[in-house]
Amino acid sequence: MSTQSPSEKSGQEGEGGFKIPDKGVFVSEYNKKILRATRMPERVKILDTTLRDGEQTPNVALSIDDKVKIAQALDELGVDIIEAGFPINSEGEAEAVKRIASSGLRSEICALCRANKVDVDAAIGAGVDSAHIFLATSKVHLEKKLKISKDEAVEKAVTAVQYAKDHGLVTEFSCEDATRTDLEFLHEVHKAIEEVGVERIDIPDTVGVMTPPAMTEFVSEIRSKTKVPLAVHCHDDFGLSVANSLAGVRGGAEEVHVTMNGLGERAGNAALEEVVMALQAFYGMKTGINTRKLAFVSRLVSQLTGIAVQPNKAIVGENAFSHEAGIHVHGILSESSTYEPMRPEIVGKERSIVLGKHSGHHAIDSRLKEYGITLEKEQMKELVKRVKKYAESGKKLDDAELFAVAYDILGQETEPVIRLEEFTAFTGLNFTPTATVVLNIDGDVRRASETGVGPIDASLSAMRSAVSKSIVLRQYRLEAITGGSNALCEVTVKLGDTENPSIISLGKSVGSDIVTTSVDATVEALNRLWVCKLTMNGKDGGRKVY
Ligand code: KIV
Ligand code: ZN
C-alpha cells in the first residue's frame, strides 16, 4: 500500500527549523548540540567480522560457498575490510579465506591470527591482504589462560607484527580484553608494536563491559599516546555494543568492527546496520556503506547462518517500519517523520501498516481504499469492531481476511473461486518427482503438470502454472503436530504476486499426508490471493470472497 506522507511527496520543510526530507533521517536536535564540541573524522572505516566473530555464534557453521556469497555481498555493500576467517583453525576455514582472498573483491581481505608464526603463516598461505593479530593482555588472561609474563606478551606481539610485515601483510593488532587491561601496560604494548610499524591498533571490549562515557575516555586516553589509527571491537553482553562503538569513535577511533545482524560470540558484536546508520544519523559521518543494501544483506546472512533476525531488531527487523496502533498510523499517513526516525527505503526496507487489535479506522480505511472498496460510516464502525475482535483471538489478519469481513458487512457473496478437481503426484528412486493438477477457476477448467525437487515442489509448481506464473511462494512451513509415521502435520503456505507486490496471502491446512495437506493449504492461499488480485484489478468487483 502507498504510505507516502505529504512531505515525502512534496519534499517540503518541517517545523522546528530542521529540514524534514534532507537525507531521510530525522533525529533530535539535542544530539547536534551535545556533539558540536567534539572533533571527529569525516569518514569511519568498517571492518566486518561476520565471517569470523559472526561465525563464532553458537550453532553457526557456514559452508565455503556460503562464505564466499556473504563476502561478495559485503563487498557490494561497501565494507572496507572483510575479516574472512581464522585460517589456522581448520583446513576448511583456510580454504574459505583463500577463496575469498582470490575472488577479486574490492574490500581488503583480512585473516585473524594469534601472535605466533604458525598463525601468520596460515594467513600468508591464504593470500590475504592483512593480518589481524591478537594477544590477550589483561591480568586474568595472562595469568590464568596464557600463563605468560607481561614481558613475554610484549615480545610475542612485537615478533608476530614484525613477521607479518616482513611477509608483506598489512597489520592490525588487538590486545584482547583491552578494556580490562591495566592502562599502563596497554600503552606499553601499543608503543612496542608502533615501533615495529603496526598499521592499525584495535581496542576490543572482549566481554562487553564498558559504558559509553568510559569508552570515550578510554579511547581518547589511548589516542593521546599513539599516532597509529585506532579501531574499536565491542561485544554486546550488556546490550551496549553499538553505543560503545559510537562512544569509541567519539574518543578518536577511525574504524569500527561490526557484524551483520549483530552476530558473534555469546550476545554478539555491534551490528553493522545499527552502527552505520547511527554514525550517519548522529555524527553525520560517511562510512562507504550503500545503506540501501542493508536489508538485503541482513536477509542473506540470516538465511545462510540459520539465525533469524528478531522482528523488533533495529533497522532490519520485520517490525522496524511496521505500524499498527491507530494513533501512529494516523500520524504516519499524514507525515512519516511523526513516527519514523528515518525513511525505510534508505535501508532497503518498506513501510507496512499492519492490521491488528490496535488498528483504527484510518489504517483499515486506507487499506480498503487501495483496493477501491468504500464502506459507509456505520459499516466501517462495524468492520473496525470485527477486525479488533478477530485480531484479539490471536490470528493474523491478512488482506483476504479483511475483505472477507468487509464483504460480509456489505452482504456480498463469499465462496471459493478456485477448486481442486484432480491431483496426482509421483515420486521414487531415480525418478523425477512430477505432479498434475486440474483446477476449476470460476468455471474455467485448467490442467497443468510440472516436475520439482520433490512431490510438494512439483505440486506447488503445477498449481502456479494452472493459475498464474506471477504467483510466487514466499514461505512454506511444515510442522508435525503429533509424533510417529502417521503423525498429523500442519502446513502453512504464504503466496505473493510479482504483478502486485503488496499482496501476501496465507493458507493453512492440517492432515496426515504432507503432500495433499500442502496442496490444500496452497488452494486456500490461492483463493485468497485470487480475490486480492481481482479486487485490485477492479474486475468482478471483488464479490467472490472465500
Ligand atoms: O572479542 C575479541 O576480543 C576478539 C579478538 C579476537 C579481537 O574477537
Ligand atoms: Zn570479538
In this structure, the chain runs to a length of: 546
Query: What DSSP designation does 428 have?
Result: E
The protein residue with its alpha carbon nearest to ligand 1, atom 2, reads: 206
Tell how far the Cα of 198 is from the centroid of ligand 1, in angstroms: 17
Helices (H), 306-432: 326-334, 361-370, 377-392, 399-409
Question: How high is the pLDDT of residue 540?
Answer: 43
Task: Centre a 10 Å sphere on the Cβ of residue 221 and count the other Cβ atoms it contains.
Answer: 14
Closest ligand to residue 206's CA: 1
Amino acid identity for residue 525 in this structure: A
Residue 175 DSSP symbol: E
Q: What are phi and psi of 414, to 5 degrees?
A: -135, 105
Q: Which residues contact 162 (CB under 8 A, 6 or more apart)?
A: 196
* Axis-axis angle for helices 294-305, 272-283 (nearest 10): 160
Q: Give CA separation, 67 vs 81, 92, 129, 516, 520, in Å.
A: 15, 11, 17, 37, 38
Listed residue (269, 213, 311, 211) closest to 60, CA to CA:
269
- Give the distance (Å) from ligand 2 centre to CA of residue 204: 7
Structural domains in the chain, CATH included, are 41-305 (3.20.20.70), 322-409 (1.10.238), 418-536 (3.30.160.270)
DSSP 196-228: TT-SEEEEEETT----HHHHHHHHHHHHTT--S
Long-range CB pairs of 161-165 (<8 Å, 24+ gap) are 161/133, 161/193, 161/196, 161/197, 161/198, 162/196, 163/117, 163/120, 164/113, 164/120, 164/123, 164/124, 164/131, 164/133, 165/196, 165/197, 165/198
Burial class (CB in 10 A: 0-12, 13-18, 19+), 284: middle
Which portions of the chain are predicted below pLDDT 50?
1-2, 6-7, 9-22, 539-546
Bridge partner list, 428: 431
pLDDT value, residue 13: 33
**Atom 3, ligand 1: residue with shortest CA distance:** 206
- Angstrom distance (rounded) from CA 286 to CA 276: 8
Atom of ligand 1 nearest to the CA of 207: 1
Distance CA 273, CA 346 (A): 11
d(CA 313, CA 330): 23
Shortest-distance atom of ligand 1 to CA 112: 6
Give the closest ligand to the alpha carbon of residue 179.
1
Whose Cα sits closest to atom 8 in ligand 1? 53
State residue 3's pLDDT score: 53
Strands of 504-511's sheet in order across = 471-480, 489-497, 504-511
* Nearest alpha carbon to residue 383 among 398, 403, 369: 403
- For position 545, what pLDDT does the model report? 34
Q: Return the DSSP state at 43.
A: B
Alpha carbon distance 545, 528 (integer Å):
8
- Check the CA dihedral 173-179-180-181 and report its sign: positive
Closest ligand to the CA of 202: 1
Residue nearest to atom 1 of ligand 1 (CA): 206
Ligand 1 contacts (CB < 6 A) are: 53, 134, 174, 176, 204, 206, 233, 235
